[in-house]
Structure 1
Amino acid sequence: MKIAIVGAGAMGGLFGARLALAGQAVSLVEASDHAIEVITRQGLRLETPDVQTTVHIPISRAAQLSGHFDLLVIFTKGFHTAAAIDSVRHLVCPDTWALSVQNGLGNAEIIAGVVPAERVIVGMTNLPADLVAPGVVHSHGEGHINLWAGSGKDAQRVHEVAAVFSQAGLPCEADPQVQVAIWEKVAFNAALNSVCAVTRQTVGAVGSTDQGRQVLGDILDETVAVAKAAGIAVDGQRVRASVDYAVRNHQQHKPSMLQDLEAGRKTEIDFINGAVVAHGKRVSVATPVLQALYNLVKASEG
């Protein structure tokens, strides 16, 4: 399968390396000249419990690529999705599909502005990946990927993509209930990312106080209520259990939103808390705590 991975960060690097090692025709698309130079010169280093290797994968800016691709995988942050998919529109042919397993909500709709909605795949992954340095990806721990067509209809290409990913060591399932997985991850991120960002505290510190746990629980309750009102059968107990597990076992972890604020970068709050607030308005579900955390993070961004 001819695959272009847009965004050579932690997840893009993990997927790109695994797929290339499995014999797929992978190209990396990146906007950072430094990352392009490093990966071109020294390759992409992947370190996992079962693989420690360097793989050489073509990498360039989008404009330098030509031809048509079977699959475009978008691995940018949500606020870069529009620019990312627009940059590769010249690679789209009538048989090209696009995939988003990005955090948050709304990316698939943006991608559908370039790739027809009936050829957009949506998904969720909890595979761990850290970008240690440009071109160096660590992945320690287990995870999986759930995929389905964004249209909700069964499609042979989705099953083909799932098989390709699984064969490459990226455990993947074609899952018609993928929206449940997506929303449960959104609930998890809306709680831990926003509260840690606003308080400037680690996951363990937030979960160590009654007040922190109360706010986390309120955000989970609001997000689950919005999802259920939208007809998505999110399991509130399962989401709460996943947050409790993170609080107990990842006490020193700083979620990406906190890291972004500390580094003076823009966050994905619009695609997480902000997106749930917007959905809540459409289904007439009040989200005052989500709204408050959204406002505080936006204020912190300056």
Structure 2
Amino acid sequence: MEIKKVTLIGLGAMGVFFAPKLKEYLGNENFRVLADGERKERLQTKGVTVNGINYKFNFMTPDIKEDAADLIIMAVKDTGLSQAILDIRNQVGPQTQILCVMNGIDSEEKIAEVYGWEHVMYSYMRVSIVMKDGAADYDPELGKVYFGEAKNTELTDRVKAVQNLFEASNIAYRIEADMIRGMWFKFMCNVGENLTCAMLGIPFGAYRVSDHANAIRLNAMWEVIRIANRLGIDLGEEDIKRQEPAIQRLPFANKPSTLQDLDNGRMTEIEMFAGKVVTLGKELGIETPLNWMFYHGIKVCEEKMQGKFESK
């Protein structure tokens, strides 16, 4: 299996991690961005700027029925996943593989329900990208895409094909031996770090200087650990310790995605984060008070953003 044509849907903070390098390696004909309507027109006209360099890409609309992709990279937000699953339908052929690099722990299941597991691999990203007004800034040395089968003691042909593509296009990657555990590790970090920052309006750098911010972060992570353990996923204290050097390396002023969404007037992915933790906690009989507060608190922030509390 060889990957010659790639379609990306979602040219935001995660999509720009892939787009410039795939365009350079595959060329405009074989690397396409899927979009339509006002978003397509805006991106075609303005492009996106990554670390000071402006890029413009070859766009396709979802209605085009020929020329299926060998690989589809879905880099959308949770709020756009259902539509994206519909939009990629004409890009899926008999051999097409799909990586959905968005946050969360169940997007693969949703995509596989429509297209089948033979087309879907597990994937997630560890990268801090600040994106505003079509411009993204990040340190490429601090980011990776993780992908593979659920277990990767031996690499399947389709995993090797994606590996070969990323090697050739100089995209930083890692193939985890246990992708499910890896996804829950990232979920644990996201829930603790991302949501604490969003609720309090603080950057990642707060975790270097505030014992109080860390107390909230760590206790929220433990709520995820207790749920993961009940589901048979081996997370624990060592995983929290493993994350600490990554926190220290992040630029002090960087903001996580949920806080970026609130700052820019966008709806957040709170359902996928705290909403999922609270739901699983109820199903499993595990208390999740911090995530309950995150969920309702950030919902209030969204209501405020929408003007719900302005005097009539």
| Band the TM-score falls in, shorter-chain normalisation | 0.7 to 0.9
Query: Conserved in 2, the CA contact under 8 Å of 1:191 and 1:219?
Result: yes
1:48-91 deviations in whole A, cap 9, x for unaligned?
Answer: xxxx8665531133224633221211111012111011012122
What pairs up with 1:170-181 in 2 under 5 angstroms?
A: 170-181=171-182
Give the RMSD, CA atoms, in angstroms: 2.8
1:176 shift after superposition: 3.4
Task: Tell me what 2:187 maps to.
Answer: 186
Query: Conserved in 2, the CA contact under 8 Å of 1:104 and 1:271?
Result: yes
Deviates more, 1:125-134 or 1:263-272: 125-134
Letter in 2 for 1:58: N
Distance 2:68 2:111 in 1: 17
Letter in 1 for 2:61: R
SS in 2 for 1:22: helix
> Where does the alignment leave 5 or more consecutive residues of structure 2 unmatched?
304-312
Answering whether residue 44 of structure 2 is matched by residue 40 of structure 1, we say: yes
Letter in 1 for 2:44: T
Answering whether residue 32 of structure 2 is matched by residue 27 of structure 1, we say: yes
1:102-129 deviations in whole A, cap 9, x for unaligned?
Answer: 1112211221233213321111222444
1:5 shift after superposition: 0.4
Query: Conserved in 1, the CA contact under 8 Å of 2:78 and 2:269?
Result: yes
Task: Tell me what 2:67 maps to.
Answer: 67
Task: Tell me what 2:5 maps to.
Answer: 2
Letter in 2 for 1:96: T
> Where does the alignment leave 5 or more consecutive residues of structure 1 unmatched?
none
1:224 shift after superposition: 1.4
1:234 shift after superposition: 2.4
Letter in 2 for 1:10: A
Distance 2:207 2:106 in 1: 28
Query: Conserved in 2, the CA contact under 8 Å of 1:97 and 1:115?
Result: no
Please give the TM-score of this superposition, normalised by the length of structure 2: 0.83
Please give the TM-score of this superposition, normalised by the length of structure 1: 0.85
CA distance 1:277–1:128, shift in 2 (3 Å): same
Answering whether residue 61 of structure 2 is matched by residue 57 of structure 1, we say: no
Distance 2:259 2:137 in 1: 20
Task: Tell me what 2:157 maps to.
Answer: 156
Answering whether residue 205 of structure 2 is matched by residue 204 of structure 1, we say: yes
1:157 shift after superposition: 0.7
Query: Conserved in 2, the CA contact under 8 Å of 1:21 and 1:55?
Result: no
Deviates more, 1:91-100 or 1:142-151: 142-151
Distance 1:44 1:69 in 2: 23
Query: Conserved in 2, the CA contact under 8 Å of 1:269 and 1:297?
Result: yes
Task: Tell me what 2:258 maps to.
Answer: 257
Count of paired positions: 296
Distance 1:298 1:240 in 2: 30
Answering whether residue 225 of structure 2 is matched by residue 221 of structure 1, we say: no
